[in-house]
Amino acid sequence: MDAQKAARVMDELAKLYPEARPELHFSNPFETLIATILSAQCTDRRVNQVTAKLFAQYPDAFAMAKLSPEELEPLIRECGLYHNKAKNIAAVCRALTEHYGGEVPNTREELMKLPGVGQKTAGVVLMAAFGDPQIPVDTHVFRVSRRIGLADAGTPEKVELQLRALLPKEIWTFGHHLLIWHGRRCCAARNPACERCPLNEELCERHMESDEKSSK
């Protein structure tokens, strides 16, 4: 897809979701980091329910670092994958207190040194906590961008590179939220609602390919 067509895609999504924004609840970089770790394969709504109680009891890295993974597990069980998440969160909090004065670092390089923090999580923290333009690729961004034709790479890391090259930097953050909102509200993994998608006639490459095949 060329840049002009990509711009039309983003314009249509912006009309559809002008209020697109993060749906995780957080108030500082530490909360952003922990909530993002918990959000893996879990809904934002469920994460918000868990973090409301978690952050009230353990509001910063120093407080949470006092917990062992075994003590963390029952507090985050509802988010799923709680064994690994508890292990990573405990290790992250220790790293923050031991090497960063309890503060979350504000560079990708330093963030990705933290246990369990990969490219997507680092991008979300930089974007949401520090206002740095980013376009992190989660499962929704990966699926929707490939379906529409904004990207065709086979990994989230490579899709992010393609989106960075295709879209202007000033719309990366809003574009990230637009693709997530479209994935959650229309372009679902199973049974996407193509019939009510504003992109399906001229802008969605998957839909146009399906039309071509059905007409043959």
Report the catalytic residues.
120, 138
Residue 95 C-beta-side C-alpha neighbours within 13 Å: 18
Sign, CA dihedral 150-155-158-164, equals positive
Locus of tokens 């109680």: 53
Q: Which residues contact 196 (CB under 8 A, 6 or more apart)?
A: 186
Q: Count the neighbouring beta carbons within 10 Å of the beta carbon of residue 45.
A: 10
Q: Count the neighbouring beta carbons within 10 Å of the beta carbon of residue 193.
A: 11
Q: Count the neighbouring beta carbons within 10 Å of the beta carbon of residue 171.
A: 17
